[in-house]
Amino acid sequence: MAGIIPAPVSLELRDDATPFRLTESSRLVASGEGAAAVAETFAGLARAATGFELPVVGGAAGASDLEFVVGIGSVPGRAIEGYALESGADGVRLAADTAEGLFRGTQTLRQLLPAEIERADAARAPASGWTVPAASVADAPRFAYRGAMLDVARHFFAVDDVLDLVDRLALLKLNALHLHLTDDQGWRIEIESWPELTGIGASTSVDGHGGGFYTKDDYRRIVEYAAARFITIVPEIDLPGHTNAALSAYPELNCDGVAPPPYEGTEVGFSSLCASPEREEATDRFLADITREVAEITPGPWLHLGGDESLATSEADFRDLVRRMTRAGAATGKTIIGWHEMGACRELRAGTIGQYWSFVEPAGDAVSLTKSFVGQGGRVILSPADVAYLDMKYPDDPEGPLGAVLGLDWAKGPTSLEEAYGWEPVGIVPGIGESDILGIEAPLWTETIATVPELEFMVFPRVAAIAEIAWSPSVAAGGSRSEVDFAARLAALGTHLDTLGVSYHRVAGVPWARPLRTGDVPRFLPMTPHILT
Ligand code: ACM
């Protein structure tokens, strides 16, 4: 039984009708702007799995072909990421107004195919081919921004690990990967004008697990791989707090002119850029250089400048530094995103995006700070920590793939799959309505997570719940939120994750196709720490 996550707006499965067969003679027939490139990306996956030739061609499509069409009017309302899919005895026809919509449709197709589509070793489909059930799908997302975040500062993850994550997120129709590139424990992106940021500043991570950073070419590889999957990379340089790595690399950024030692612990709120006039020249040059260099290698529209937990910065200094850093960021032409604390600054560039990370029931002044962005012409990304933070523990302290109990619990205790699935974005921040919400993001902070299997254990399956909240229609708009139905579809997704070798948590209550076997070992060995050379 096919199960699609996130649930499409409309899906008709005709189990009694003749399915489509993907066979050795199938072709991908592409027409319209960008369709051939999307077809090639899909063909790359399908060729590796089947060993079939699957040429991408133009012309007329036959009953054994998959047609990929980009053309205005393919989906109602011209939804940018919308698509329409028809499959059956006459072939597959996937149509969208944009290449982006077409790509989203290929991920539905991927989930409708047998899980062997995920194999990279030419599984050799049977002579009768692989089937796609007869189906009609019409689909478009609820929110424009559907993201996940990976903290590569507390623990560093290699480029190939990030690419794998991008592919898994694309399967769930997410369209943004926010990379938390800097924090107290490490600076992970090359800045040519401040080379010690990735010298001294990248030498450490939490618990002495070694350092690492992305060269500009590494970062470009991530951006390019993500772009082929219509995922935008959102770089975050966290300022003015969470800056010990930068401060340890450059004494002139410190008020006392003394560089602190590199930091390998997990405390927050102890570091800050300096707002005093004696440091103004160095700090403003730093802000201009880092925002310019990061913006230059970032084709996407956003630049995240942090702003959270600046507990070592006075309120007046915080507002001054936020004004200066957002000004420097906006000078690059990017739209600035900041954690909701940045809303304390009343001089944000119009349109600045606020990222809410309080709870489903807001605490402290999170509501007024978040509304400040909307008051200044911006919109909001919701990441309520008690339901959307992927680094919160699971209930019952399950051991992760390498034996450790993973995650934190400060956000109202552990977060179950049901909690990750059971919330509604509108109404969390009073006064913030549907049109004020740019989207939803699920962050993974990595204080306790040092390896790919651990990352996968925390991300999957809860990110699938967040993807559905971000994509599928709200209950008020006619969507449904049945935990039982979601669990059944998750079990189907699990077969794909199994084939991909993803070490997801086999959460109880989901009818996983392959039960956990005692002695299951993760596919990956513990990651070799990325030692700087
Ligand atoms: C955060 O969790 N400090 C944004």
Q: What is the CATH number of the domain that holds 71?
A: 3.30.379.10
Q: Residue 491 falls within a domain, yes or no?
A: no
259, 201: one domain: yes
Same-domain pairing of 102 and 83 = yes
The full 3-state SS of 251-297, as one line of letters, equals HHHCCCCCCCCCCCCCCCCCCCCCCCHHHHHHHHHHHHHHHHHHHHC
In a domain, 533, yes or no: no
Is 309 known to be catalytic? yes
- Quick one: 212 and 346 in the same domain? yes
Residue 145 has which token pair?
């921004």
Q: What is the pLDDT of residue 59?
A: 97
Give the residue among 447, 394, 463, 403 at the shortest CA–CA distance from 152.
447
Q: Which residues contact 355 (CB under 8 A, 6 or more apart)?
A: 304, 337, 338, 339, 340, 380, 381, 382, 383, 441
pTM to 2 decimals?
Answer: 0.96
Ligand 1 pocket member 356 (CB < 6 A): no
Q: What values do phi and psi take at 200, rounded to 5? A: -55, -45
pLDDT at 2: 66
Q: Is 120 exposed, middle or buried (0-12, 13-18, 19+ CB in 10 A)?
A: exposed
Distance CA 443, CA 497 (A): 20
Q: Is residue 499 part of a domain?
A: no
- 375 Cβ contact list (under 8 Å, min separation 6): none
What are the CA-CA distances from residue 461 to residues 84, 226, 227, 439 (Å)? Answer: 26, 21, 24, 20
pLDDT confidence of residue 530: 37
In tens digits, what is the pLDDT along the chain, a chain of 533 residues?
468 999 999 999 999 999 999 999 999 999 999 999 999 999 999 999 999 999 999 999 999 999 999 999 999 888 899 999 999 999 999 999 999 999 999 999 999 999 999 999 887 778 788 999 999 999 999 999 999 999 999 999 999 999 999 999 999 999 999 999 999 999 999 999 999 999 999 999 999 999 999 999 999 999 999 999 999 999 999 999 999 999 999 999 999 999 999 999 999 999 999 999 999 999 999 999 999 999 999 999 999 999 999 999 999 999 999 999 999 999 999 999 999 999 999 999 999 999 999 999 999 999 999 999 999 999 999 999 999 999 999 999 999 999 999 999 999 999 999 999 999 999 999 999 999 999 999 999 999 999 999 999 999 999 999 999 999 999 999 999 999 999 999 999 999 999 999 999 999 999 999 655 544 444 333 333 333 33
The enclosing H or E element of 96 equals strand 91-96
For ligand 1, is residue 308 a contact (CB within 6 Å)? yes
Distance CA 256, CA 429 (A): 40
Residue 348: how many other CB atoms lie within 10 Å:
25
From the candidates 116, 309, 418, 483, give the one annotated as an active-site residue: 309
Whether residues 409 and 316 share a domain: the answer is yes
Q: Are residues 204 and 166 in the same domain?
A: yes
As a whole number of angstroms, the distance between CA 205 and CA 495 comes to 34
**Tokens at 509, concatenated:** 């209550």
258: in domain:
yes
Picking from 183, 179, 177, the residue whose alpha carbon sits closest to that of residue 197 is 183
User: Does ligand 1 have an atom closer than 6 angstroms to the CB of 339?
Assistant: yes
| Mutation choice for ligand 1 from 357, 389, 412, 446, CB with most ligand atoms inside 8 A | 357
The domain total for the chain is 2
Domain boundary among 483, 499, 515: 483
Output the six-digit token pair for 334: 């990017």
Domain assignment of residue 519, yes or no: no
In degrees, to the nearest 5, what angle opens at C-alpha 223 toward C-alphas 220 and 229?
A: 145
- Picking from 483, 500, 528, the residue at the C-terminal end of a domain is 483
Residue 522, in any domain of the structure: no
- Co-location of 283 and 135 in the same domain: no
Residues 423 and 331 in one domain: yes
List b or e across 137-171, with b for residues whose CB sees 16 or more CB atoms inside 10 angstroms.
bbbbbbbebbbbbbbbbbbbbbeebbebbbbbbbb
Do 92 and 199 share a structural domain?
no
How far is residue 311's CA from residue 156's CA, in Å, rounded to a whole number? 25
* Closest to 446 in 3D by CA, of 162, 160, 173: 162
Q: Which residue, chain included where needed, has tokens 């090639």?
A: 40
Query: Would you state the pLDDT for residue 192?
Result: 98
> Is the beta carbon of 264 within 6 A of some atom in ligand 1?
no
Q: Are residues 132 and 232 in the same domain?
A: no
Atom of ligand 1 nearest to the CA of 355: 4
Q: Whose CA is nearest to atom 3 of ligand 1?
A: 308
Tell me: do 340 and 439 sit in the same domain.
Answer: yes
The atom of ligand 1 lying closest to the CA of 242 is 3
CATH number of residue 381's parent domain: 3.20.20.80
Question: How many angstroms separate the alpha carbon of residue 243 from the centre of ligand 1?
Answer: 14
Residue to mutate, 308, 355, 391, ligand 1, most ligand atoms under 8 Å from C-beta: 308
Domain that holds residue 408: 145-483
Q: Ligand 1 centroid to 390 CA: how many Å?
A: 12
- Answer yes or no: is the C-beta of 289 below 6 A from any ligand 1 atom: no
483 lines ligand 1 (CB under 6 A): no
Give the span between the Cα atoms of 361 and 367, in whole angstroms. Answer: 10
Residue owning the nearest CA to atom 1 of ligand 1: 308
Q: Do 315 and 208 share a domain, yes or no?
A: yes
Of the residues 339, 380, 381, 415, which should be mutated to test ligand 1's pocket, given the most ligand atoms within 8 Å of the CB?
339
Tokens of 274: 């300096």
Q: Which residues pair with 299 in a beta bridge?
A: none
E strand or H helix at 180, and its extent? strand 176-180
Q: How far apart are CA 108 and CA 330, in angstroms?
A: 37
Q: Are 310 and 269 in contact (CB under 8 A)?
A: yes
Residues 249 and 397 occupy one common structural domain:
yes
* Helix (H) and strand (E) counts in the chain: 13, 19
Q: How far apart are the first and last CA of the chain?
A: 50
Residue 373 structure tokens: 């962005």
318: nearest Cα among 335, 336, 331, 305: 305
389, part of any domain: yes
Rg of the chain (C-alpha set): 23
- Residue 471 Cβ inside 6 Å of ligand 1? The answer reads no
Residue 125 lies in a domain: yes
Enter the DSSP assignment of 206: G
